[in-house]
Homo-oligomer: A and B are copies of this chain.
Amino acid sequence: MITFLSGGTGTPKLIRGMRQVLDDDQISVVVNTGEDIWVSGNHISPDLDTVMYLFSGVLDTDTWWGLRGDTFTTHEMLKDLSPEEFIAIGDRDRAVHIARADLLRRGCSLTEATVRLCRLFGVRASVLPMTDARVTTRVKTSAGSIHFQEFWVKNRGAGEVMGVEWYPQDPPPASREVLDAIRECEAVVIGPSNPITSILPILRCRGVREALSEQYVVGISPFIGDAPVSGPAGALMTAEGYPPNSIGTAGVYSDLLDLFIQDVRDTVNLPGTVRLDTLMVDEQKSRALAAAVLRLIRKRGGKNEGGI
């Protein structure tokens, strides 16, 4: 069993490759839920959906969100009727949000709701929201503190980023299932996701750092040089006081890493890391990286070999 810590784009690309070399039932994914948002009465969990759709084979792998071939009939009408409709949601994607919201309103935990939906989608991997508590990642901008989705989707990442904060402030407890998945696996892979808004929300969950400290942890930098492969990681890293590169990424994960992987092209030199091609432009590249990561995990001598 390999357990991933995942956001919504970079790590799912690696998981896509891992599915080619490992059976789905040997993969657990702890998923960031800090970007979850209730819109128009329904529960959107962007990263959970991407991971669930990926395992179900229905993910739109051009955009890395939503269902392949979905239509947007309700959204097209609703954006003229309601100012709340700022996220493009497909019609079938919306059905999933509504179903999850129904389960949550009926008292299911997010973990239980995810198990139910994954079963309906034929997912055999273990997809685990990082916490059952509601926690929201907010971006502090010159115009005030706004929901991450509002910053990234509505405002398209525009405006000066002054930092990140979580609401509520107190770290939520990781679910029991998450802690079990971290403890009872061969290794944990922190995929090439945004360190600040995808991975840090998971690391903040109570119990996660402790569990990781006793586990073999592989990290993969989402940066090549001073730019992330995708998404707003650069501005967010800078605002939080980390250099927007592999050194900063290693700083966020601090003492958790046993093995750190940088891209072969990365101009930032960090001693003790392993260099691999991390630019997963297609499924073959994903598979190659995943196979290399799995080989490194299985060849390891012990804790900290190859670490930084």
Which residues from chain A sit less than 8 Å from chain B, CB to CB?
Answer: 40-42, 70-71, 73-75, 77-78, 80-82, 84-85, 91-92, 94-96, 98-99, 101-103, 105, 117, 120
Contacts and interface: CB of A to CB of B under 8 A. Distances in A.
Contacts of A78: 95, 98-99
B41 A105 contact: yes
Across the A-B interface, the 5 shortest Cβ-Cβ residue pairs: A41-B41, A81-B99, A73-B91, A77-B95, A78-B95
Contact of A42 (B41, B91, B103, B105): B41
A91 B117 contact: no
Contacts of A92: 73-74, 77
A234 B116 CA distance: 42
B80 A94 contact: no
A100 to B, nearest CB: 9
Given A40-B102, A71-B73, A74-B91, 11 more contacts: A41-B41, A70-B73, A73-B91, A73-B95, A74-B74, A77-B95, A77-B96, A82-B99, A82-B102, A84-B102, A94-B94
A283 B82 CA distance: 33
Nearest to A121: B81
Contact of A41 (B80, B98, B117): B98
Nearest to A120: B81
A40 to B, nearest CB: 4
